[in-house]
Amino acid sequence: MHRSIKVFDFFSGCGGTSCGLSQAGFDIAFGLDIDKDAASTFKLNFPDAYYINDDIKNIDQKIISSLVDDLRVDNNLILFCGCAPCQPFSKQNMKKNESDPRKELLNYFANIVNANKPDFILIENVPGMQKLSTNNNSPFSYLLDTLKNNKYHYTYDVLPALWFGVPQKRERLVLVASKHFEIDLPSKLCDGIKTPYSTVREWIGSLPSISAGEKHPEIPDHISAKLSELNKLRISLTPEGKGRETWPEHLLLDCHKGHIGHSDVYGRLHWDKPASGLTTRCISYSNGRFGHPEQNRAISVREAALLQTFPMEYKFHGSMLSKAKQIGNAVPPKMAECIGTHIKNSIFNHYR
């Protein structure tokens, strides 16, 4: 049975999930995000999707219901996906606030699920979100209660992006739910990928050299941040895959002297290993292991996008810092593609 799967991408960001699901053969019908630059990026790449650039708290649910009802007329299947802002749940957030309003965003998504009852649901977020409690009622628990009350089959677990061909040490909490049948998560061998895992070299090794602060004239977004003369010296003394442990004492920051933690800061990537997990500051040499493996600069915007497995032709809108934020926040498309392929195969196996 051939049935088109229409995707409603809430908290869409720059479109990492939609990119992957599109590559898996899904149709991107709707996107929503509060960030203006991310919204512009999404619309550049999915111009046919209905888009709302606003806070999910402000949207009229009748708009969503009308779009869902129109698409169901042709016997389409509906998938809602949502990656609510992860900062309130991230272990890297040292300033967690129990009253952070972003924690409620997943509740709004759950209410939209309750009102529209999509055929499938895909949730992606940071590991630990399922453990967070606010006044003994976590947003994740509220979502699970919504799924139970609407008789969804669901499962969730923490999955390494490495399993799905993403050249990056990144783990994400993934939940999939089905209104129609039991569903599971994809296994480690999605698309036949086996160890050794995908590497930095495989994804950015063919890009031409540029200097710190230089923009390549032909490759969009192949532009790197400027470096101070001191940081140029520091990175020049850093071997591939290494960090500040290789520097002479006088080049160390005072806060790093006698301190062995945060070892990725000011580090270079290794050509033949996966990258460290990319963050919203993934083009900043001083904010992680984001130094190019051999060139004396941080990775470019395009290299960061490639390490997140965005296609080379994917377009980004905004300043360098905005693009880096969008890329760092994104779901790796290759991961979303594998999960989407798994959902699609599950549908095929159920209806054949």
How far apart are the two ends of the chain, measured CA to CA in Å?
6
Provide the pLDDT confidence category of residue 19 given band limits of 50, 70 and 90: very high
What's the pTM?
Answer: 0.91
User: By mean pLDDT, which of 92-101, 189-198, 238-247 is the weakest?
Assistant: 92-101
Question: Is the pLDDT reported for residue 222 higher than 60?
Answer: yes
Least confident of 53-67, 189-203, 311-325, 328-342: 189-203
Q: Are 320 and 180 in contact (CB under 8 A)?
A: no
pLDDT band at 148 (very low <50, low <70, confident <90, very high): very high
Residue 257 scores a pLDDT above 70: no
For residues 120 and 182, is the Cβ–Cβ distance under 8 A?
no
Q: What is the mean pLDDT of residues 82-86?
A: 79
Task: Convert the pLDDT of each residue in 25-68 to its tens digit.
Answer: 999 999 999 999 999 999 999 999 999 999 999 999 999 999 99
Name the one residue in this structure whose structure tokens are 């967070």: 132
pLDDT of residue 135: 47
Structure tokens at 289: 């292991």
Pairing of strands 120-125, 5-10: unpaired
Residues with a known catalytic role: 86
Contact 212, 290 (CB under 8 A): no
Answer yes or no: is pLDDT of 195 > 80. Answer: no
Q: Which residue has the higher pLDDT, 264 or 125?
A: 125
